[in-house]
Amino acid sequence: MIFLSLNFSLIILVSLFFFFFHGGRLWFIHGWLSLGFLSCFFCSSSKSPFLPNHPRNPITLTQPNSQIQAALPSLRISNGIILLTSSGASITPYQAWGPYGASKAVLNHLAATLAVEEPAVTTVSIRPGVVDTEMQREIREVHHERMSEGDRGKFKGLKEQGALLRPEQPGRVIARLAVGARREFSGRFLSWNDEMLGAFQEDA
């Protein structure tokens, strides 16, 4: 059985199909691959800062908490796994990405907290890298005007140079983690291609 909260099914579900059942262990994967409403926190042109729990911003802090809380009783019984899809933006700031980056940083800390408070459950915050998804198209074509020139150039260049990851690359790693994440990973913020996850990266 698996609990899912995703809006980037292409990354996860195609790969996860091949790992759907594994020894009765429960998994919970939370991911959100959308920038939501972009606005500087304290730009003079902004009438008010759009915090991550602002009603106009779909990137909320309460959503993963409530979903995980509902799943925890079953996850405890099965020594289950929680995977939180984070982002490099959780540790690297980008202009106008404040709400998105803050919400991802919360996931990193949530993973660390759950590792302490729920030792029977393995919780990992995973960084999938810069993936060729709808979010990247929105960055280049929709949100670019609110971003700095340097950041616009970075993401445009990644697409032009063919440097974006294919969804199945981090997707396969995340799918394998969903059924085999080891206890020593719990509480960590790991990139999909981290050396520690080498055993999960075959064919990725």
Does the pTM of the predicted model rise above 0.85?
A: no
* Average confidence (pLDDT) per 10 residues, the chain, 204 residues: 44 43 59 56 50 49 74 88 92 88 89 96 95 91 90 96 95 90 97 96 79
Residue 175 placed within a domain: yes
Q: What's the one-letter identity of residue 87?
A: S
Residue 16 placed within a domain: yes
Residue 6 placed within a domain: yes
- Which residue of the set 15, 39, 86, 186 is catalytic? 86
Residue 174 placed within a domain: yes
Q: What's the per-residue H, E or C state across 108-154? A: HHHHHHHHHHCCCCEEEEEECCCECCHHHHHHHHCCHHHCCHHHHHH
pLDDT at 102: 84
Residue 5 placed within a domain: yes
pLDDT at 96: 86
Handedness of CA 10, 11, 13, 14 (dihedral sign): positive
Residue 110 placed within a domain: no
Residue 39: active-site member: no
Total tally of structural domains belonging to the chain: 1
Residue 35 to residue 173: CA distance in whole angstroms: 23
Residue 100: active-site member: yes
Residue 12 placed within a domain: yes
- Which residue of the set 100, 103, 125, 186 is catalytic? 100
Residue 204 placed within a domain: no
Residue 46: active-site member: no
Range of 12's domain? Answer: 1-24+168-182
pLDDT at 63: 66
Q: What number of residues does the chain have?
A: 204
Any bridge partners for residue 131, and if so which?
165
- Which residue of the set 39, 90, 103, 104 is catalytic? 104
pLDDT at 145: 86
Per the listing, tokens 């055993």 go with 199
